[in-house]
Amino acid sequence: MLTDTIAAIATPVGEAGLAVIRISGTTALDIADKCFEPVGKSSRKPSAADTHTIHFGHVVRNGSRIDEVLLSVMRAPRTFTKEDTVEITCHGGMLSTRLVLETVLAAGARSAEPGEFTRRAFLNGRIDLTQAEAVADLIHSRSELALAAANEQLAGKLSRRIEEVREDLMKTLAHVEAHIDFPDEDIAPDTKDQLIHRLENGITFMNELLATAKDGQILRNGIRVAIVGRPNAGKSSLLNQLLGHDRAIVSTIAGTTRDTIEETAGIRGIPVIFVDTAGLRESVDEIEREGIRRSHDAWQKAELILHVLDHSEPLTTEDEKYLAEFATKERVLVRNKCDLPGRLEIPSTDREDSPPDVSVSCKTGQGIDALKDTIKSLVWSGSVTAENLQITINSRHQTALLRARESTEKAVAAMIEDFSLELVAMDLHIAVNAIGEIVGKTSTEDLLDKIFSQFCIGK
């Protein structure tokens, strides 16, 4: 399939000012020649054009003009795929974009599969597997912090660290296998200590990477935060304040929210999926009861609960009930309506895991920034920046690192106990291969299919 020339629409489908059709492969320039008629003295046929130049003209099929376009020529190897690449920028109408792509396909290109351009970049050595995944992370970033971390990974920060530990494991493996080949020469005690020390340093590094797995998941997928409380406490108003716009209907009539409402927002660089829920109370209304049932499902699935209480009213038996019910969850007590005289008293507790207590006014916006800071501090302890998230791993990396760490620990134990060097070498081979999977040094077609199938067509 690497010998095929592929083409796809590289911009979202729909009406827009512009759209881009990307062509990549050994015959990309010849195919473009069949479709493109240059206009003006400086424009050239693609095959006659210099690399990294743009040309004005028309896409033509069977003598009929399809669209007025700009055509970019990028010759190998200075392209994303390291193949000859042509990008046609046409008008962004759905019909014109489809006709331009059909013209390119009729001229000899094959329609690209999901992620096939990035897959070729990997197979041709332009990027490694972690950088390929960073491309997907970059596209799907939902916060500035996630975007910055994806850019760091795309720049190769994770790759370089992984290569360092893989190189150390391979050096140790080579040393062990040399002694297997020459059994009459025992490993000197000093040399053995150095090898064990090198492996232990590798284990320490793996532990540091594994500790970033949760942060990486949060950056990529966000966290679910359920906004719960009894009716008319101000849950929908709080959602609107956190989002910065009116998303939920706000009314003084209790029970306005009958269903869950989900909306994503960036809170201090963290993608947060807020779920506004129906007010928790006993009800005979069938629709409201269904909304309350969904509220229970929402807070049980959430990683964090914002329990909204009315600061202007005394604590009710329902409030007490839900304070006890939510006690097992990570939560924040949100005292809303703090602009009004306070009548709310929450029983104090000496427990160290007492939830944070934040006073806000959804009417004036008072306390909302403090609440956002509290949400961030519960997600991450300390200050989090893109710099210390530059080597954040994903679940695939985590699985490979766990296998590598286990095998490296076995190798260390075997060396300390003077077990057979063949056993040490076997464990080190497993560790090296597991580490290699992360950057793509050791990979299978099934693994590559799984990774690149998650990309959009045209990327």
Question: pLDDT at position 385, please?
Answer: 46
Share of the chain above pLDDT 90, in %: 34
Which residues have CB under 8 Å from 347's CB, separation 6+? none
Domain with CATH 3.30.1360.120 in the chain: 6-112
pLDDT tens readout for residues 42-57: 888 999 999 999 999 9
Question: pLDDT at position 185, please?
Answer: 62
Over range 431-438, report the average pLDDT: 92
Question: pLDDT at position 255, please?
Answer: 47
Confidence category of residue 382, pLDDT binned at 50, 70, 90: very low
Confidence category of residue 289, pLDDT binned at 50, 70, 90: low
The encoded tokens of residue 168 equal: 């150390």
Domain with CATH 1.20.120.430 in the chain: 148-212+392-452
Judged by average pLDDT, the poorest of 61-65, 259-263, 340-344, 365-369 is 259-263
Confidence category of residue 441, pLDDT binned at 50, 70, 90: confident
Question: pLDDT at position 288, please?
Answer: 53
pTM here is 0.73
Is domain 220-379 classified as CATH 2.40.30.40? no
pLDDT tens readout for residues 305-328: 888 888 888 888 877 887 887 788
Asked whether residue 408 carries a pLDDT value surpassing 90, the answer given is yes
Q: How far apart are the first and last CA of the chain?
A: 16
Q: Which residue has the tokens 């795929």?
A: 81
Judged by average pLDDT, the poorest of 112-126, 157-171, 311-325 is 311-325
Asked whether residue 59 carries a pLDDT value surpassing 90, the answer given is yes
> How far is it, in rounded angstroms, from Cα 424 to Cα 234?
62
Question: pLDDT at position 293, please?
Answer: 63
pLDDT tens readout for residues 243-252: 876 665 444 4
Question: pLDDT at position 23, please?
Answer: 97
Architecture of domain 6-112: 2-Layer Sandwich (3.30)
Strands 357-359 and 331-336 turn out to be: parallel
> Where is pLDDT greater, at 130 or 286?
130
Question: pLDDT at position 383, please?
Answer: 44
Question: pLDDT at position 429, please?
Answer: 93
Q: Which CATH superfamily is domain 148-212+392-452 in?
A: tRNA modification GTPase MnmE domain 2 (1.20.120.430)
Question: pLDDT at position 215, please?
Answer: 75
> Where is pLDDT greater, at 386 or 59?
59
Question: pLDDT at position 257, please?
Answer: 47
Q: Nearest to residue 237, comparing CAs of 259, 256, 222?
A: 256
**CA of 389: how far to CAs of 138, 205, 414, in Å?**
14, 15, 34
Find the angle CA(374)-CA(380)-CA(383) to the nearest 5 degrees: 90
Question: pLDDT at position 235, please?
Answer: 81
Phi, psi dihedrals of residue 359, rounded to the nearest 5°: -95, 130
Mean pLDDT of the chain: 83
Asked whether residue 184 carries a pLDDT value surpassing 90, the answer given is no
Report the amino acid identity of residue 426. Answer: M
Asked whether residue 74 carries a pLDDT value surpassing 80, the answer given is yes
Element of type H or E holding 92: strand 85-92
Question: pLDDT at position 183, please?
Answer: 65
> Where is pLDDT greater, at 257 or 274?
274
Which residues have CB under 8 Å from 151's CB, separation 6+? 134, 138, 386
Q: Is cis: bond before 77, omega within 30 of 0?
A: yes
Which range of 137-151, 240-254, 380-394 scores highest in mean pLDDT? It is 137-151
Question: pLDDT at position 343, please?
Answer: 80
Question: pLDDT at position 413, please?
Answer: 93
Share of the chain above pLDDT 70, in %: 86
